[in-house]
Amino acid sequence: MENFDRKILVTGGAGFIGSHVVRRFLTNYPNYLIVNADKLTYAGNLANLSDVEHLPNYRFEKIDIVDAEAVKGVFNKYGITDVIHLAAESHVDRSIEGPMEFVMTNVVGTVNLLHTAKDAWKGEAHVFHHVSTDEVYGSLGDTGLFTEATPYDPRSPYSASKASSDHFVMAFYHTYHLPVKMSNCSNNYGSHHFPEKLIPLMIHNIQNKKPLPIYGKGDNIRDWLWVVDHASAIDAIFHKGRIGESYNVGGLNEWTNIELVKFLCKVMDEKLGRTTGESESLITYVTDRAGHDKRYAIDASKLEKELGWKPSITFEEGLSKTVDWYLSNHEWVEKVTSGSYQEYYETMYGNR
C-alpha cells in the first residue's frame, strides 16, 4: 500500500453528509488515504463524489457494515488506521415503517466496526470517530438546549437505534480503551441531499409546483446546520478533539418548519422569477408524524471553546447556496427521484 500517513475508513461516504466529509478529507489531506465504504442504498450515490473520485488518495469499497467479514476484509486490505463512521439508516418516517433495518445497520453495523477496530488496533494512535444525531436526546420544550450532558431519551425507532450505537461506542471506550470520539449534530442541509428530507423535498416540489406537505401545524422547531460546516466540525473533532469525549455540533439557529418553508418559498419565487406568494400557495398540511419531537436545539459551546469551531455562514446564506445548487443540478435530482423513491413518496405522503 502506498505510503500514506493515515488510512481512514469513511463509512457511508456516498451519502449526503458522508460525501461532504470524503470530499473535504480528500482535498485537504492528500497524504491521507480515504477509503469510502458504502452499501449504496437508495440514499448512497457515487455521483455525489464525481468531482473527486479521480484523486489518487481515494478508494471505494461496496460493502454492508452488517457483514462482519466484509468489514474485516476492508481493514486488512488497506491497513485501516482510523474510522469516521457515518453509515446509517437515518430517515425517521422509514424507521416507523420498518425498524429492523435501522437496528441492523445502526446497531449491529456499528458494533461490527468497533469490534474490528478493537482487534486491528493494538495500542498505537488511532481514532474511531462516531457521527450521531441530536435526536438521541429526545424532545425539548420551548426553552433550553441540548448539551453533551443531556440524558438520552430517544422517541423514534431511528433515534433509539442511534442512541444504542452511541452507547456501544462509549462502552468500547470504557471496556477496551478503544480511542473513540463522538459527535451529535442537528439537522443538516446542503447539496447532494436525498429529497425525502424537509429542505430538498420542498425545493424539488416548489420547482415542480407540487404540494408542499407540512406535518401537523408546522410548529415543530429544528436547528439547521450547513453540511459543509458539519464536515469542518468533523475534521476539527477528528484531529483535535479529546479521546472519550462527545461534541455537539449545531447551526446556532432555530426555525419552525412552517416559517422555514415560507422563507424557502420566498427565496425560490425570487430565483425562479415567480410572483411573491406563488410557491407558498402550494403548502398543504398533512397528518402529523407519530411521536413527532417538538423542538431540537443544540448548545455547541464546548466545540467552540475547545476546538475553535463555529458555523461559517448564516442559515439564509447557506439556504440560498443550497437552492442554487439544486436549480443547477437537474440531472442529479432527476436520477435520484426516479423509481423506488417515487413509490416510497406515495406511501409516505400521497395518502395522508
Report d(CA 257, CA 262) in Å as an integer: 9
Q: SS3 for 37?
A: strand
**Burial level of 176, CB count in 10 A (0-12/13-18/19+)?**
middle
3-state secondary structure of 106: helix
Residue 291, pLDDT score: 75
End-to-end Cα spacing for the chain: 54
* Torsions phi, psi for 126 (to 5 deg): -135, 165
Judge whether 5 counts as a catalytic residue.
no
The predicted structure's pLDDT at residue 349: 52
Q: What is the pLDDT of residue 332?
A: 84
Full set of structural domains in the chain with CATH: 6-189+226-249 (3.40.50.720)
Annotated active-site residue in 38, 82, 89, 134:
134
Q: Which of 38, 82, 89, 135 is the catalytic position?
A: 135
- 270 neighbors 194 (Cβ within 8 angstroms): no
Burial 321-342 (b: 16+ CB within 10 A, else e): ebbebbeeeeebbeebbeeebe
Please identify every stretch of the chain with a pLDDT value under 70, giving residue numbers as ranges: 1, 339-346, 348-352
Given the residues 78, 137, 158, 296, select the one marked as catalytic: 158
Q: Which phi and psi (to 5°) does residue 9 adopt?
A: -90, 120
Supply the pLDDT for residue 45. Answer: 86
Q: Which residues contact 17 (CB under 8 A, 6 or more apart)?
A: 86, 131, 188, 227, 230, 231
Say how many residues make up the chain.
352
Among 206, 332, 340, 330, CA closest to 268:
206
Separation CA 129–CA 117 (nearest Å)? 11
Q: Is residue 135 among the annotated active site residues? A: yes
H or E stretch at 92: helix 92-97
Active site annotation includes 158: yes
The residues that bridge with 215 in the sheet, in sequence order, are 286
What is the model's pTM? 0.92
- DSSP lists the bridge partners of residue 52 as none
> Rounded CA gap, 223 and 296, in Å?
6
Cell 463555529 appears where? 310
Tell me the C-alpha distance between 76 and 352, whole Å.
Answer: 49
Determine the pLDDT at residue 345.
53
Rg (CA), the chain: 20
* Structure confidence at residue 111 (pLDDT): 99
Whole-angstrom CA distances from 303 to 40, 147, 190, 313 are: 31, 11, 21, 17
Query: Could you tell me the three cell numbers for 44?
Result: 448512497
* Dihedral, CA of residue 39, residue 43, residue 48 and residue 52, to nearest 10: -30
Ramachandran angles phi, psi of 243, nearest 5°: -65, 140
Closest CA to 261 of 201, 318, 330: 201
Sheet of strand 254-256, all strands in order from the earlier edge strand to the far edge: 187-189, 221-226, 254-256
Which residues touch 163 (CB under 8 Å, ≥6 apart)?
136, 152, 154
* Dist. CA 128–CA 15, nearest whole Å: 19
Q: Which of 198, 212, 204 is nearest to 333 (CA)?
A: 204
Q: Angle at the Cα of 261 (from 259 to 264), degrees rounded to 5?
A: 110
